[in-house]
Chains A and B, each alone.
Chain A
Amino acid sequence: MPHVALPHTGTDKAWRDAARGLIARRVPPDEVTWSRGATEEDLFAQAPEQVAQTRATLKVPRDFVSLAGSVVWHRDPERFARLYAMLWRLRSEKGLMEDRGDAALAKLRSMEKAVHRDRHKMTAFVRFREIGARDLPRRRFAAWFEPTHFTLEPTAPFFARRFADMDWMIATPDLTAIFENGELSFAEGQPKPDIPEDATEELWGTYFRNIFNPARLKVGAMMSEMPKKYWKNLPEARHIPEMIASAGARAEAMQAAAPTLPPLRAAKITERLAAPGVVRAMADDLDQLRAEENACTRCPLYENATQAVPGEGPRDADLMVVGEQPGDQEDLAGRPFVGPAGQMFDRIAREAGIDRSRAFVTNAVKHFKFAPKGKRRIHQNPNTGEIKACRFWLQSEIELVRPKLILSMGGTAAESLTGSRKGILSRRGTVEETPEGVPVFLTVHPSYLLRLPDPALRDDETEKFRADLKSAQAHLEELRAS
């Protein structure tokens, strides 16, 4: 019966090569035995030639390759045989790697998990002590660690990637990793070396004791993630018993302590902060209006939005453009017409001869109404009550800017300005009036164009929208002339 003895280092590659050879020779799993640790001759007596002849023929699911790459480092003496038995089955059982209900695979997966965890704990719990003088060109550190499995070799590259500008050594009972001048190498394992204590451990202990909140003792949670077996090599762990023992009394003392009088400086500072200070002079009444809009709680929409989005544009604009409400982007930026629909409007308006920089752009509703969906916000139409509540602000803007013409885009703007959103498609291109007598040119909202799925239809509708804007501009010029 063939026996495969695998080396202490490079075990993963050696197992892979040996398994390839055995599969090629169709050696069934129960006719081969495995062990870790033997002379190198043992290994090379079997492996190389078999590898050469079979490399091309053996197809193994990628999943299995990574599974084996972990499981070989497990301490269980059966691991090599278990892996080989799985490999044997994989030749004929399609989809086996996807079947977590399979008992043999489930066992291998749990071994893989144990190795992952052991590797992860090594990256977490290795504690370096400085062993060289601090002013050396490369500082020198050493650590002693006792992993549960043979995980130093696969984990050492992590430390090499992280601590590349210093020399270090990690000693374990089974293997020693040495990193010097940027080169990683391995040597035999060793008994625990005597590494003198590092002064920084004192500071670390101070941090550990003080970041701990004695009012929320959860020892079980700590123990499951940092089991006691690791404590002996963790410098901070020596504080744990005392921290647990005194926690209850410390928490009770905090609760029992009577509130103290604030220090003298507190009142002065608080007063200074609360004082209105130098109120920034409002540049004009429009700024004042913006501030008031931002504080608006006339309807519940303010609760979920980031901020109110007030109108923007010259104080003496003779064209006011009114859209529906701020969208996602406008809500974040606090400025109207910056999102996709706003950009589309800008483009078409330019084509239609409207000077956007001379128009005052605003919305019928000042806060963004949306329904949260995962990481996105889905736009929702404001209802009549919300439109009515916000009409106050729109009216204030109209009174301040006193435009000659208002371009009303979409149903919500129409409802706010003319009292009705009905039949907007038949009313588009016509001029109505606000109750106060300001002329209102009606058209659709540019977001309507964005939502059309059919490109031909979208082109048509974009053309119509452009025509509307041209005719609004012509109307505005008439009004200017008169």
Chain B
Amino acid sequence: MTAHSLERKLAILSDAARYDASCASSGTAKRNSKDGKGLGSTEGSGICHAYAPDGRCISLLKILMTNFCIFDCAYCVNRVSSNTERARFSVDEVVKLTLEFYRRNYIEGLFLSSGIIQSPDKTMEDMVRIAKKLRLEENFRGYIHLKTIPEASEELIEQAGLYADRVSINVEMPTDASVTQYAPEKKPDTIRRAMAGVRMRKEAAKDKSHTGKRPPRFAPAGQSTQMIIGADGSNDATILGQSTRLYSSYGLKRVYYSAFSPIPDATAKLPLIKPPLMREHRLYQADWLMRFYGFNAGEITAGTDGNLDLAIDPKLAWALRNRHAFPVDPMRADREALLRVPGFGAKTVGRIIAARRHRRLRWDDLVRMGANMKNARPFVTLADWTPGALLDAPDLAARFAPQPEQLSLF
């Protein structure tokens, strides 16, 4: 193997890491370095330090420890059968890059993932060593996200959670069958068991022992996962069903959807397509509806062919299919009903509920409260507005559809 310069390694190993969508650096325990003995802080909300022209936020130094890998996952640029250039960071190189970038306020911390070398345990051990060195030797108090390797021993995952704010294990594909087909070395039930293990450890770390002593916190920012969209034939109903199951079973903070995107040196098994970015966007919107708006997966995809409408957002699409639930009167409706009005966000709903105790709300009030009245128009009645026949207009859906020339963008 030729020796690479640090810069070349960084190029190879960040290039290889770009397919992980997660960038969150929020929601962990609060820390700072006011004692002057360390570096870094975490204060609840994360910070996006830069944006690349792909529209993705750059919050963490997202790199692979190595892109050598013994697995042969068809969708991955680092699979063993790919001819991509390989490199490997030493522990010290990762530590140094993280700290020097952090000191210059480029990043919130480190997101470390890795190809699997020699064995899952060996790989996980090296990753844990990096996190441990950052925390214990360098007193680093910024954010650490470790991608854990499901096949690694429980002891190593336990340690990972001790030093990392977040751990994640990718389910990779929306169904077990697709994982087996495209990632032959990965075992869906091992992945599930590893996620179950993380949830159990997190819960165990919350219980005080009988002496009243609190055990050390385990991954305070929780766990997340990612699945690739558009590589297999799964429809959106299947994907959202899988997310629902993951959220309810393993206490996941986030499920990330990653539109399958062309990779260098692709395999013939997975023909390259234009990444389905709009589909990915709609899935995130649906995911939000499930987590913050009281919708369930079944409602979101009921009455469709199993896939979300790409032309309009899923909440508006649901309202158009369920016009019998409207119009809603913002003065009287309960929170659940208000959250289902297109154009009303969770914040707007909170504002409506706080303000309506004091006076009657009108159209302009809702505009000032942040409602998107263009979307809400047919679905609400107000002192100075009734939708009349608009709600039942046969061409209502068409009025919301974007212009044809915009469609051609996707």
B196 & A123 in contact (Cβ 8 Å cutoff): no
B105 & A211 in contact (Cβ 8 Å cutoff): no
- Interface status of B192 (Cβ within 8 A of chain A): yes
- Interface status of A26 (Cβ within 8 A of chain B): no
B15 & A210 in contact (Cβ 8 Å cutoff): yes
Given contacts A213-B18, A259-B267, contact A266 B72 (CB under 8 A): yes
Given contacts A98-B357, A236-B50, A372-B247, contact A164 B32 (CB under 8 A): yes
A140 and B114 alpha carbons, distance in the complex (Å): 33
When distances are taken between beta carbons in the complex, the residues of chain B under 8 Å from A370 are 248
CB distance from A177 to the nearest CB of B (A): 13
> Scoring B residues 359 to 371 as 1 if CB is less than 8 Å from chain A, else 0, what string do you get?
1011011101110
Other-chain residue from B6, B262, B354 in contact with A215 (beta carbon distance below 8 A): B262
A198 and B83 alpha carbons, distance in the complex (Å): 35
CB distance from A33 to the nearest CB of B (A): 27
Given contacts A210-B14, A266-B81, A306-B196, contact A218 B54 (CB under 8 A): yes
- Interface status of A456 (Cβ within 8 A of chain B): no
Segment among B40-48, B159-167, B400-408 that sits at the interface with chain A: B40-48
- Interface status of A279 (Cβ within 8 A of chain B): no
A29 and B71 alpha carbons, distance in the complex (Å): 71
CB distance from A258 to the nearest CB of B (A): 9
A211 and B39 alpha carbons, distance in the complex (Å): 25
Within 8 A of A (CB), among B307-343: none
Given contacts A161-B41, A203-B7, A254-B272, contact A217 B54 (CB under 8 A): yes
When distances are taken between beta carbons in the complex, the residues of chain A under 8 Å from B275 are 215-216
CB distance from B282 to the nearest CB of A (A): 15
With both beta carbons as reference points, the residue of chain B lying nearest to A94 in the complex is identified as B358
Other-chain residue from B7, B41, B62 in contact with A211 (beta carbon distance below 8 A): B62
> Scoring A residues 244 to 265 as 1 if CB is less than 8 Å from chain B, else 0, what string do you get?
1001000100110101111101
CB distance from B410 to the nearest CB of A (A): 12
Given contacts A212-B18, A216-B277, contact A101 B262 (CB under 8 A): no
- Interface status of A160 (Cβ within 8 A of chain B): yes
With both beta carbons as reference points, the residue of chain A lying nearest to B141 in the complex is identified as A162
- Interface status of A282 (Cβ within 8 A of chain B): no
- Interface status of A187 (Cβ within 8 A of chain B): no
- Interface status of A136 (Cβ within 8 A of chain B): no
Other-chain residue from B17, B50, B245, B259 in contact with A304 (beta carbon distance below 8 A): B245
A203 and B47 alpha carbons, distance in the complex (Å): 20
A100 & B53 in contact (Cβ 8 Å cutoff): no
Other-chain residue from A213, A257, A333 in contact with B200 (beta carbon distance below 8 A): A333
Interface size on B, residues (CB 8 A): 94
> Scoring B residues 66 to 78 as 1 if CB is less than 8 Å from chain A, else 0, what string do you get?
0000111000000
A207 & B80 in contact (Cβ 8 Å cutoff): no
A103 and B47 alpha carbons, distance in the complex (Å): 31
Other-chain residue from B32, B189, B249, B359 in contact with A372 (beta carbon distance below 8 A): B249
A101 & B54 in contact (Cβ 8 Å cutoff): no
CB distance from A93 to the nearest CB of B (A): 9
Within 8 A of B (CB), among A263-283: 263, 265-266, 269-270, 273-274
Given contacts A222-B52, A247-B53, A254-B264, contact A161 B34 (CB under 8 A): yes
A375 and B263 alpha carbons, distance in the complex (Å): 35
B369 & A208 in contact (Cβ 8 Å cutoff): no
A230 and B55 alpha carbons, distance in the complex (Å): 16
> Scoring A residues 121 to 147 as 1 if CB is less than 8 Å from chain B, else 0, what string do you get?
001111111100000000101010000
B52 & A182 in contact (Cβ 8 Å cutoff): no
- Interface status of B266 (Cβ within 8 A of chain A): yes
- Interface status of A454 (Cβ within 8 A of chain B): no
When distances are taken between beta carbons in the complex, the residues of chain A under 8 Å from B355 are 98-101
When distances are taken between beta carbons in the complex, the residues of chain A under 8 Å from B248 are 370, 372-377
Given contacts A125-B49, A221-B55, contact A98 B358 (CB under 8 A): yes
Within 8 A of B (CB), among A185-220: 198, 200-204, 206-220
- Interface status of A448 (Cβ within 8 A of chain B): no
A165 and B53 alpha carbons, distance in the complex (Å): 34
Is the interface on chain A under 10, 10 to 19, 20 to 34, or 35 or more residues? 35 or more
With both beta carbons as reference points, the residue of chain B lying nearest to A209 in the complex is identified as B11
Within 8 A of A (CB), among B170-184: 176, 184
- Interface status of A307 (Cβ within 8 A of chain B): yes
When distances are taken between beta carbons in the complex, the residues of chain B under 8 Å from A95 are 357-358
B193 & A306 in contact (Cβ 8 Å cutoff): yes
When distances are taken between beta carbons in the complex, the residues of chain A under 8 Å from B12 are 210
When distances are taken between beta carbons in the complex, the residues of chain A under 8 Å from B17 are 211
- Interface status of A294 (Cβ within 8 A of chain B): yes
Given contacts A161-B33, A372-B244, contact A377 B47 (CB under 8 A): no
> Scoring B residues 259 to 290 as 1 if CB is less than 8 Å from chain A, else 0, what string do you get?
10111111110001011010000000000000
- Interface status of A41 (Cβ within 8 A of chain B): no
A266 and B84 alpha carbons, distance in the complex (Å): 12
- Interface status of A27 (Cβ within 8 A of chain B): no
Within 8 A of B (CB), among A363-420: 370, 372-377
- Interface status of A332 (Cβ within 8 A of chain B): yes
- Interface status of B37 (Cβ within 8 A of chain A): yes
When distances are taken between beta carbons in the complex, the residues of chain A under 8 Å from B364 are 101
Given contacts A221-B55, A254-B263, contact A203 B105 (CB under 8 A): no
A124 & B80 in contact (Cβ 8 Å cutoff): no
Given contacts A100-B354, A211-B62, A375-B248, contact A216 B185 (CB under 8 A): no
B196 & A331 in contact (Cβ 8 Å cutoff): yes
When distances are taken between beta carbons in the complex, the residues of chain A under 8 Å from B103 are 128, 130, 139, 141, 163, 166
- Interface status of B305 (Cβ within 8 A of chain A): no
B52 & A211 in contact (Cβ 8 Å cutoff): yes
A101 & B39 in contact (Cβ 8 Å cutoff): no
Other-chain residue from B104, B251, B359 in contact with A127 (beta carbon distance below 8 A): B104
A182 and B97 alpha carbons, distance in the complex (Å): 25
Other-chain residue from B6, B41, B266 in contact with A257 (beta carbon distance below 8 A): B266
A217 & B83 in contact (Cβ 8 Å cutoff): no
B185 & A307 in contact (Cβ 8 Å cutoff): no
A126 and B247 alpha carbons, distance in the complex (Å): 36
When distances are taken between beta carbons in the complex, the residues of chain A under 8 Å from B373 are none
- Interface status of A284 (Cβ within 8 A of chain B): no
Other-chain residue from A225, A334, A374 in contact with B57 (beta carbon distance below 8 A): A225
Other-chain residue from A127, A214, A221 in contact with B105 (beta carbon distance below 8 A): A127
A334 & B83 in contact (Cβ 8 Å cutoff): no
Given contacts A103-B368, A200-B104, A204-B106, contact A226 B54 (CB under 8 A): no
B72 & A210 in contact (Cβ 8 Å cutoff): no
CB distance from A253 to the nearest CB of B (A): 9
A206 & B36 in contact (Cβ 8 Å cutoff): no
- Interface status of B89 (Cβ within 8 A of chain A): no
CB distance from A247 to the nearest CB of B (A): 7
A211 & B249 in contact (Cβ 8 Å cutoff): no
A161 and B34 alpha carbons, distance in the complex (Å): 5
When distances are taken between beta carbons in the complex, the residues of chain A under 8 Å from B11 are 206, 209-210
Given contacts A211-B18, A270-B80, contact A257 B7 (CB under 8 A): no
Other-chain residue from A99, A160, A266, A269 in contact with B358 (beta carbon distance below 8 A): A99
Please give 5 more A-B residue pairs, beta carbons under 8 A apart, in addition to A210-B11, A306-B189.
A125-B50, A165-B36, A201-B104, A210-B14, A372-B249
List of 3 A-B pairs having minimum Cβ-Cβ separation, nearest first? A221-B55, A101-B365, A218-B55
27 A-B pairs with CB atoms under 8 Å apart are A95-B357, A98-B354, A101-B359, A101-B369, A125-B49, A130-B104, A164-B35, A165-B37, A166-B39, A182-B36, A201-B104, A204-B101, A211-B15, A211-B62, A213-B18, A214-B54, A215-B274, A215-B275, A218-B54, A226-B50, A226-B51, A251-B262, A259-B266, A266-B72, A372-B249, A373-B248, A376-B248
